[in-house]
Amino acid sequence: MYVMICPCIGDPSLRARGITSQAEIKVFESAFSRCRHFGIETVSLPCPETRYLGKDREPGTFLERLNTPDFSRILEGLVLEVQEIIADRGPPLGIIGVDSSPTCGVTRSYYGGSPPKRPGRGVFLEKFPEIPAFDVAAFARYHVYLAAPLFSEAERAYNLKVRGLLNSHLFEVYLPQTVGDDRACRESSANQSIYEQHLQVLGRVDFVVAIIDGADADSGTAWEMGYASALGVPVIALRTDFRIAGHHERVNLMLERSSTLVQRMEELPEALGSPFQSGDPVFSH
Instruction: Using the predicted structure, report yes or no on whether residue 187 has a pLDDT greater than 80.
Output: no
| Whole-prediction pTM | 0.87
Pick from 84, 75, 93, 79: nearest CA to 34 = 93
Domains of the chain: 2-139 (no CATH), 143-271 (3.40.50.450)
Percent of the chain past pLDDT 90, that is, above it, reads 75
CA 158 to chain centre: 23
Name the residue with higher pLDDT: 190 or 220. Answer: 220
Out of 7-16, 65-74, 210-219, least confident range: 210-219
Average pLDDT, the chain: 90
Residues 6 or more apart from 149 whose CB is under 8 A from it?
155, 211, 214, 218, 220, 221
* pLDDT for 279: 46
Q: Is 96 helix (H, G, I), strand (E, B) or coil?
A: strand
The pLDDT tens digits of the residues spanning 157-180 come to 999 999 999 999 999 999 998 886
Mean pLDDT computed over 223-251? 84
* pLDDT for 190: 80
Confidence of residue 144 (pLDDT cuts 50, 70, 90): very high
